[in-house]
Every structure is written in structure tokens, then in C-alpha cells.
Amino acid sequence: MNTQLIDPFDRAITYLRVSVTDRCDFRCVYCMSEHMTFLPKKELLTLEELDRMCSGFVRLGVRKLRITGGEPLVRRDIMTFFRAMRRHIDAGDLDELTLTTNGSQLERFARDLYDCGVRRVNVSLDTLDETKFADVTRWGRLPQVLRGIDAARNAGLRVKINTVALKGFNEDELFALTEWCAAQDMDLTFIEVMPMGDIGNEERLDQYWSLKDLRARLAERYTLTDSAERSGGPARYVRLMETNQKIGFITPLSHNFCESCNRVRLTCTGELYMCLGQEGRADLRKPLRDNPGSDAPLIEAIREAITHKPKGHDFDYSRQVVGGKMSRHMSHTGG
């Protein structure tokens, strides 16, 4: 029952990203519309159900668990779940428990996260300009996020900044962001904007800044050396010689990274997406709720789902149209 998960293309599935809520206290323009309709709370997995789900995946060989949302730290009593997951770290069955956050609640929760076994957090931050930050997040406050980052570092958490590359928005901050992260001893990863969900009046092609172009601009100022390092995710890394700094690139549009994909995504309603850029999914909530006394049906359903994991996604902007667009929002699938 506990044999490792292997997909049809002989890739071991060792990384689970779990959305614990579709709610967020920001409304980033590339992620969701300003006036979102969120799921009824009864449809969300309870914290106890999330525990059973994640523990099932750990039994099947998942070694890295990333908690996402929405904004995961706005979920009521979420630290109960983090404390429960620590037992897998303590038992040696899980290598890493981490999360991706917008940083708004880090000042409040950083110390608790460290006590739960979290050692790294990814903070989404696209600009250091307070006015632009308010514009891109619609509801966000930059000083609150910066205080959260400081609290995380002071608590002993390693912070990585995730920046979505947005044409005409943060192109002029490329070097400022890079140098700020270097001065704070924080890693930095750039991400291409992905065609996920209806975002209102915003246009994807207007937002898209190829990381090929971004990397070329970095090379005008720094010496970039390719790194063989892998963090268990889709990023490819370089090191800047002048700052001895690690920079990551997540390039689903300009360079497909699917050949080494080791991850699947669980939504807050118990749907398992085998690929971020495909609509195929499996309902794991039903076998979980229909069998409160046994995890065997859930384990069987997970195994069956992995047999349908596709070779790769269909995201494509190359013909100046948005190809492979997903109907669901990133906040539903898990950021």
C-alpha cells in the first residue's frame, strides 16, 4: 500500500502543494479579479481532513509539503494543521514543511511557524514601491509585508522572494529588487505570469515579460553562472558572481520545465490536479469522507490519480494569443 508514487513517465511524485483556502487578503491583478466569489466554507476540507490527506501522501513517498492558498495564513486555526504536520518531520518521513505567502500575516505567525518545523518560506513580492504595491495587490500594504519579512528572518526562517515578472510594471525595478535581496541575504526567484482564470479587465499578453529577456538584462550588469542546484520545484538557478547571490527562474512559457516534474497539487476542496496547466483532476474528498474509519480507499484513489498525470502543460504565448488558458484561478489550485 505504501509503495512510492510513480507517474506514467517514470517520474517519482515526492512534492505535494496543498491549498488550504481559496481566500486571500490581497487581490493581485494577475491572480484574481477584484470582486471574487469564494467557495462556501462547507466545501473546504476541514483541518482534520487536510491532515488525513497529507498524511496519506507522506505514506506514499511525498517528502516535501508546501502549504499555499489563496493566502494560507488567513485560514482560521491554521497553526493547528502546521503543528500536526510537524510529527512527520520529527519522524523523518517528511524532509520539508514550508509555505508560500503574501507576507501579510508573517509578523503574527513567524515564530509559531518556526516552532512547527518550518524553516523556509516563499514570500510573493513584485515591487518595492509602496504605491505600485497597492496597485498590483489592490488591497495590500507594503510596510505590513516588509515587517512580516523582518519577523520571519528574526524567527530563523530562510526567506525567498518570489517576483512575478510583469511587463511595464516592474521592469524598471529589476536591479533594485536584486540588490535589495542580496543586501538582505534572501534568494530571489522570478516567475512568468501564467494564464490562470478570469482576471477582469487585465490582459495576459500585456502583462507577460519573458524571463529570457529578463535574464539577458541581468547579464548586462552581472556575471551569471548556471547552477545544477534543484530545490524540488520548477525553478532553474544561476549565481551572480558580483553578489554571490542565487537567482531562480520559473519559466512555464519561455521554457517548459515539465520533463522533471515531481509534484501534484491538492485544492482546498480535495481535488487533486496532476498538472498546473491541465484541467484533469481527481476527487479525493469523496473517498476521504465516505470512509472515515479507513484510509485505504483514499490511498487507492491517490494511486489511480497519479496514473493520469500528463507529460506536460499547454501554456503558450508564442503566437501572440493566450494558449492553454485554465478556467480556474491560481488561488483555487494553489499558488
Sheet with 187-192, edge to edge strand ranges: 224-226, 236-240, 245-250, 187-192, 158-165, 120-124, 96-101, 64-68, 15-19, 263-266, 271-273, 281-283
Q: Which residues line the annotated binding site for S-adenosyl-L-methionine?
A: 30, 70, 124, 194
CB 18 within 8 A of CB 78: no
Q: What are phi and psi of 211, to 5 degrees?
A: -75, -15
d(CA 256, CA 144): 35
Cα 183 from Cα 249, distance rounded (Å): 20
Alpha helices in 6-141 (DSSP H): 47-59, 78-90, 106-115, 130-137
Cell numbers given for 283:
476527487
Annotated binding-site positions for GTP: 17, 66, 100, 160, 263-265
Q: HSE on the CB side for 5, CA within 13 Å?
A: 29
In angstroms, the first-to-last Cα distance of the chain is 30
Phi, then psi, of 184 in degrees rounded to 5: -95, 0
Residues in the annotated binding site? 17, 24, 28, 30-31, 66, 70, 100, 124, 160, 194, 258, 261, 263-265, 275
Contact (CB, 8 A) for 269 and 330: no
Distance of CA 90 to the CA centre of its chain: 24
3-state SS assignment for residue 273: strand
Annotated binding site for [4Fe-4S] cluster: 24, 28, 31, 258, 261, 275
Residue 272 DSSP label: E
Contact status, residue 259 vs residue 251, Cβ threshold 8 Å: no
β-strand 236-240 against 224-226: which pairing, if any? antiparallel
